[in-house]
């Protein structure tokens, strides 16, 4: 009889852009899809864009990355999303977005009557999605 696998939550995660860890409040769903319109049609595989959301700070690094793309730079980066067992706990799953680049940056909406936190969003498109094999502790 197989042992039951533990269930992991989605509230503890880490995002690395290149080798730099950045704090995000939300990462949208990771999706790999294939069209299924007709059995005779050629199959088209795609990866849905991923949106990273975080509280707006004085840092302009995400906006600056988007501006490089707007100016015509091919600034592709590796983005790694790590699911943690618990806050500051061990990594239980990791996914790599290969050759990711920002297709959209959005700043906050403003409302004089609201009390919401100002949020920035970065939408990433990428060439491949790789579910990384876990590394074994102690060898």
Q: How far from each other are the two terminal CA atoms of the chain, in whole angstroms? A: 27
pLDDT confidence tier of residue 139, bands split at 50, 70 and 90: very low
pLDDT confidence tier of residue 136, bands split at 50, 70 and 90: low
* Structural domain contains residue 139: no
- Split into its structural domains, the chain has a count of 1
pLDDT above 50 for 138: no
* Structural domain contains residue 40: no
* Number of residues in the chain: 139
Question: pTM for the complete prediction?
Answer: 0.88
Rounded Cα–Cα distance for residues 107 and 132 (Å) = 31
Kindly report the CATH number assigned to the domain that includes residue 122: 2.30.110.20
């Amino acid at each position: 009889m197989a042992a039951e696998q533990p269930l992991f939550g989605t509230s503890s995660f880490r995002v690395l852009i290149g080798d730099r860890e950045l704090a995000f409040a939300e990462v949208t769903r990771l999706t790999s899809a294939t069209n299924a319109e007709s059995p005779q049609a050629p199959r088209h595989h795609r990866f849905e864009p991923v949106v990273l959301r975080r509280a707006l700070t004085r840092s302009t690094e995400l906006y600056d990355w988007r501006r490089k793309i707007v100016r015509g730079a091919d600034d592709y980066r590796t983005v790694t999303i790590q699911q943690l067992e618990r806050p500051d706990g061990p990594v239980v799953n990791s996914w790599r977005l290969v050759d990711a680049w920002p297709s959209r940056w959005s700043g906050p909406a403003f409302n004089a009557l609201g009390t919401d936190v100002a949020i920035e969003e970065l939408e990433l498109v990428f060439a491949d999605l790789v579910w990384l094999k876990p590394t074994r502790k102690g060898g």
